[in-house]
Copies of this chain bind each other. A is one copy, B any other.
């Protein structure tokens, strides 16, 4: 039993630090991007790096202020740029490294891009505590009656155009 444990340790222990180093390396790049973006005034301090195999596809930061685009968070910018660069809409062979835990918008974007793995540094809570957040009331109304029925019909009427 002791021999088996030792063998397993010898066999598998080098793998863990290697993956750790790889993850740390790309995450460090995302953190550097975050600083760069804040320093040049492009946006808040958030960075994201998309990796394919072991190579960096794109390294981006928050571009909200620069692009005057409230959706231009680091992760969304990175996904858009990676898709353009790779000329593909599906990033299922890619990973994303984010300096901070993605917000629901960015997490949605990561899922839509089919990225297979997300590694993040800081907790989202830390960004909120430091004041990197905002509150705004949003009134939400679900339509009713005929117009709601017309909206519901959309999917059935166009379904055949999108074979799964």
Which residues does A use to contact B, with CB under 8 Å? 23-24, 27-28, 31, 34-35, 38-39, 44-45, 64-65, 68-71, 73, 76, 79-80, 83-84, 87-92, 99-101, 103-123, 126-127, 129-132, 134, 136-143, 146-148, 150-152, 154-159, 161-162, 164
For residue A162, which residues in chain B have a CB less than 8 angstroms away from its CB?
38, 44, 131-132
Among B39, B103, B117, point to the contact of A139 (Cβ < 8 A). Answer: B117
Among B76, B113, B122, B156, point to the contact of A148 (Cβ < 8 A). Answer: B122
- A150 lies within 8 A of B121 (CB): yes
Distance in Å: Cβ of A57 to nearest Cβ of chain B: 14
Distance in Å: Cβ of A154 to nearest Cβ of chain B: 5
Among B35, B155, B158, point to the contact of A154 (Cβ < 8 A). Answer: B35
